[in-house]
Amino acid sequence: MNTGKRQKQRKVLLMGKSGAGKSSMRSIVFSNYVAKDVRRLGATIDVEHSNIKFMGNLMLNLWDCGGQDGFVENYLTHQRAHVFSSVAVLIFVFDIESREFAADVISYSSIIRALQENSPSAKVFVLIHKMDLVQARLRQQLFEERAEYIRAASEGFKDTVEFWATSIWDQSLYKAWTQIIYYLIPNAGSIEALLRQLAEVIDARELILYERTTCLTVTHVTRGLEERNPFTDRFERISSILKTHKQSMAKHTNLPPNIANFAEMQIKTGRFMFFITRLTENTNLAAAIPPSEQIFNAARVNISLVRPRFAELDIGSAKASARGGI
């Protein structure tokens, strides 16, 4: 029976010229690499697939498509239907340092046409990448110029394509990927509603739900004064902080990064208290609360009580898969 909790496979294409940085970002976001490790990566041969389970019946099915001309030719001809059908999202990566920008855009156009033919309702995200190589004061303008030019070549996706400036060397990578994930999560609404209820009960200033492997934010709720928090980029910053910390722990404990998880992290100061704890199989919850031991202790108890309700939303849990598994 379809309970609406059936696992939802969402196909995501990662494309762009060879050397643009696709596998680098994939390895950092999904495979526990740190930025300086990516020099070890070789060019991708044909397509590399990875599956990542997220909160709330989302299974990401990522296709990292090697960008050398021969492969691209092949995607556009023999494998055209295979590659471009039932695509939920196309992520196209441009290298800001490329000397052949015009040619890159032509190649982008032909991919866009193939996508339009086979998956007209797909969403396109364009990442203008390696922005660290541009001096800080020139970044914004160059980004906007490139984005306008690419938009003009986006055919049927002109009005919906989104642009992000990224670099593996800072949190901009997380900012872009967080948006992509949020777009893909089918039941974000119900997760958010539950999270908001929880926030009210424990009097949290902010709750952030994030996926454990990637540390990408699934969703968050913010209450009261915290809405004026001047750090509007805090969600991607926290992703990036936690990801770095995870690597550091793994290195030190000699555990593989997917196992080197903390059970709990707490930070208490005179201005706020903060803790992170496991919520479901694939997610952690970060809570920022007022600086009070009572609130802190009550919050921890309440979160452990509400865990099963979140687990129901999470396809990864044994209960959900037993029910919807046939």
Ligand X SMILES: Nc1nc2c(ncn2[C@@H]2O[C@H](COP(=O)(O)OP(=O)(O)OP(=O)(O)O)[C@@H](O)[C@H]2O)c(=O)[nH]1
Binding site for other proteins (CB under 8 A): 36, 132, 135-136, 169-170, 205-206, 225, 228-231, 234, 237-238, 241-242, 244-245, 248-249, 251-253, 255, 259-274, 278, 288, 290-294
Q: Could you tell me the CA-to-CA distances from 42 to 22, 28, 94 in Å, in that order?
A: 11, 15, 18
Q: Which residues of the chain form contacts with ligand X (CB under 6 A)?
A: 16, 18-24, 38-39, 41, 43-44, 66-68, 129-130, 132-133, 167-169
Q: Are 168 and 198 in contact (CB under 8 A)?
A: no
Looking at the Cβ atoms of 25 and 273, the one nearer to ligand X is 25
Nearest-angstrom CA–CA distance, 310 and 324: 16
Task: Give the shortest CB-316-to-ligand X separation in angstroms.
Answer: 28
Among 177, 161, 175, 45, residue whose Cα is nearest residue 111 = 161
- CA–centroid distance for 1 within its chain: 30
Which of other proteins, Mg ion, ligand X, none sits in contact with 70, Cβ below 5 to 8 A by type?
A: none
- What are the backbone angles phi and psi of residue 46, rounded to the nearest 5°? 55, -130
Which of Mg ion, ligand X, other proteins, none sits in contact with 263, Cβ below 5 to 8 A by type?
A: other proteins
Looking at the Cβ atoms of 23 and 217, the one nearer to Mg ion is 23
Nearest-angstrom CA–CA distance, 234 and 2: 38
Order of strands across the sheet with 58-65? 47-54, 58-65, 8-16, 89-95, 123-129, 162-165
| HSE value, Cβ hemisphere, 13 Å, CA-based, for 309 | 13
Nearest-angstrom CA–CA distance, 24 and 36: 10
Looking at the Cβ atoms of 98 and 280, the one nearer to ligand X is 98
Task: Give the shortest CB-300-to-ligand X separation in angstroms.
Answer: 38
Task: Give the shortest CB-76-to-ligand X separation in angstroms.
Answer: 15
Which of ligand X, other proteins, Mg ion, none sits in contact with 302, Cβ below 5 to 8 A by type?
A: none
Looking at the Cβ atoms of 49 and 271, the one nearer to other proteins is 271
Which of other proteins, ligand X, Mg ion, none sits in contact with 159, Cβ below 5 to 8 A by type?
A: none
Looking at the Cβ atoms of 223 and 237, the one nearer to ligand X is 237
Which of ligand X, Mg ion, other proteins, none sits in contact with 3, Cβ below 5 to 8 A by type?
A: none
Among 326, 213, 193, residue whose Cα is nearest residue 280 = 213
